[in-house]
Structure 1
Amino acid sequence: MADVPGPLAAFIVGEIRRARGANGMTQDAFGRAAAFSPSHVSAVEGGTRALTMDFVKGADRALDNGGLFERLVVKLGVPSWFLPWLDAESSATQLRCFQPTLVPGLLQTEHYARTVLRTVDSLTDDEVEQRVKGRMSRQSILTGERPPQFVAVLDEAALRRTGDGLGGIMAQQVAHLIAVAELPHVHVHVIPTGSGLHVGLSGPFALARSTQGLWVGHLENQLGGDVIDKDDEVATLQARWESVRNEALPRRQSIDLLKEVESQHGPQ
């Protein structure tokens, strides 16, 4: 299961520990009720083991609180529709992501992510900051001991957005893309504007391959997102992935284009 974002995890763990104590439950008794070993409970409470959604749900069962902690994570951390994809993403051995209008979340800088999230008028400043922290926390999967192979395809138009105050943010973002693209397990490919129309312009999507070799997809829209796990629908996304990947420039040429775009955005 996906890790709860770090800043939020510390708060949730503290509340779980207090609730356990208020109910007079030892770590052993709590672990049995939550389906985790006492050592696992101790490690989570001590901060040496990540808090996962699996543990949060187990805590809710053990404390019989009607799902309070899961609701807190959803309210304060990430949208509920995104949690199933986080589970798939965090344990994937391979990730494929296509974005025609934005830089993929796993490759965003903090300033870029904040600017994108602030376009959602319904989010408060605190909610924006929580989601920025969560997005930055997600990126740790690319720098862990066994990171997935991550291949991202994005449209050149997403890199050339301009506007008041956006030039410096975009220059920093493109510089970050160039740096990350040099990692051996990260491949960034750009579809040049001259490619014209292609199937990917219908919308963004992502694919994740599990340790068991199974693929799932993710589709995001204006109202939320869906995890795609039906064989025929996954096959359709894989076919579309091949199409957009074939439209993109090779890895080295993509990096050269990124460098050209960076210079046009001006100094960071």
Structure 2
Amino acid sequence: MAELPHPLAAFLVAEIRRARGAAGMTQEAFGRAAGFSASHVSAVESGTRGLTLDFIRGADRALNNGGLFERMVEQLGVPSWFLPWLDAERTATQLRCFQPCLVPGLLQTEDYARAVIRCDETLSDQDVEQRLASRIERQVILTRDRAPQFIAVIAEAVLRRAGDDFRDVMAGQIKHLITQAERTNISAHILPDEISMHVGLTGPFSLARSPDHRWVGEMENQLGGVVVDTDADVDTLLSRWETVRNEALPRRQSIELMKEVVNSWT
């Protein structure tokens, strides 16, 4: 399962350790009740092993607290449904993303990402900055050693969604997208507006291929999202990926279109 991002993980580990101590439980007793070895508990508490949703749920069981720590994860800005995708994304050898509405999160600039996150009026400034930091932190997977191959298909309308009050942000975003698309492990393909009807109109989705060659899919919606890994669901998303990818422009033509859009504003 996915490791939670720091500093959220550090906070939760400290709270779990404090609760374990208050309950008078040794690491061995706690681990037995949570479904983990004492050495695993020790590694999580010392920070040498990542905190996962499985461990959090185990802690809730061991402490019989009614799911307190899992609810804390939700309240602190990391929805539990998203954790399996974070794990798949972090370990992927290949990533595929189709976006008809936004620049993919892994390719967003800070200014663009902040503007997108601020669209949720229920979030405080602190919530926005916390989610922004987590999103930018995820992007390091594209520049690490043995980075995954990342291919994105983005609707042309995404590039042109720039009113007067947003044009500078969008120009910076497209320039960043061009720079990223010129990296050897990243491709960005634009789906032209002239392709008016296609299977991708039903919504955005992403795919991650693991080191053992299994695919995991992720789809977001207004109420959250869903991560799928069954053969039938993954096969459907892979088929739809091939369809939208085949309709998109080649890599070099896509970069030229992005440059054309930015130049048209100057």
TM-score range for the pair, normalised by the shorter chain length: 0.7 to 0.9
1:174 equivalent to 2:174? Answer yes
Note the alpha carbon deviations across 1:132-151, whole angstroms, 9 max, x for none.
22222322332333432221
Moved more, 80-89 or 213-222: 80-89
CA contact (8 A) 2:108 2:173 kept: yes
Aligned to 1:102: 102
The residue type paired with residue 245 of structure 1 is: R
Note the alpha carbon deviations across 1:112-170, whole angstroms, 9 max, x for none.
11211221223333332332222223223323334322211101210121124311211
1:253 equivalent to 2:265? Answer no
- Structure 1 residues 36, 182: CA separation in 2 closer, same or farther (over 3 Å shift)? farther
Moved more, 1-10 or 120-129: 120-129
- Partner secondary structure for residue 112 of structure 2: helix
Aligned to 1:195: 195
The residue type paired with residue 113 of structure 1 is: A
- Structure 1 residues 45, 140: CA separation in 2 closer, same or farther (over 3 Å shift)? farther
CA contact (8 A) 1:168 1:265 kept: no
CA contact (8 A) 1:89 1:208 kept: yes
CA contact (8 A) 1:153 1:244 kept: yes
Aligned mates of 1:187, 1:250 — CA distance in 2:
9
Residue ranges of structure 2 left out of the alignment (5+ in a row): none
Report sequence identity in percent: 65
Moved more, 61-70 or 98-107: 61-70
The residue type paired with residue 65 of structure 1 is: N
Aligned to 1:148: 148
The residue type paired with residue 162 of structure 2 is: T
CA contact (8 A) 1:178 1:255 kept: yes
Moved more, 34-43 or 74-83: 34-43
Tell me the CA shift for residue 4 of structure 1.
1.0
Aligned mates of 1:21, 1:132 — CA distance in 2:
34
Tell me the CA shift for residue 246 of structure 1.
1.0
Aligned mates of 1:43, 1:231 — CA distance in 2:
34
- Structure 1 residues 24, 158: CA separation in 2 closer, same or farther (over 3 Å shift)? same
Aligned mates of 1:146, 1:71 — CA distance in 2:
35
CA contact (8 A) 1:3 1:90 kept: no
Aligned mates of 1:16, 1:264 — CA distance in 2:
55
Please give the root-mean-square deviation of Cα atoms over the aligned residues, in Å: 2.4
Aligned mates of 1:140, 1:3 — CA distance in 2:
15
Aligned to 2:18: 18
Tell me the CA shift for residue 71 of structure 1.
1.2
Runs of 4+ in 1 over 6 A off after TM superposition: none
- Partner secondary structure for residue 45 of structure 2: helix
Aligned mates of 2:108, 2:252 — CA distance in 1:
20
The residue type paired with residue 126 of structure 2 is: D
Residue ranges of structure 1 left out of the alignment (5+ in a row): none
Q: How do 1:1-268 residues align onto structure 2 when only pairs under 5 Å count?
A: 1-265=1-265
- Partner secondary structure for residue 193 of structure 1: coil
- Partner secondary structure for residue 195 of structure 1: coil
- Partner secondary structure for residue 97 of structure 1: strand
* TM-score for both structures, normalised by structure 1: 0.86
Note the alpha carbon deviations across 1:82-136, whole angstroms, 9 max, x for none.
3343333333332211001101112112221121122122333333233222222
CA contact (8 A) 1:217 1:228 kept: yes
Tell me the CA shift for residue 40 of structure 1.
4.1
Aligned mates of 2:262, 2:46 — CA distance in 1:
43
Aligned mates of 2:265, 2:28 — CA distance in 1:
57
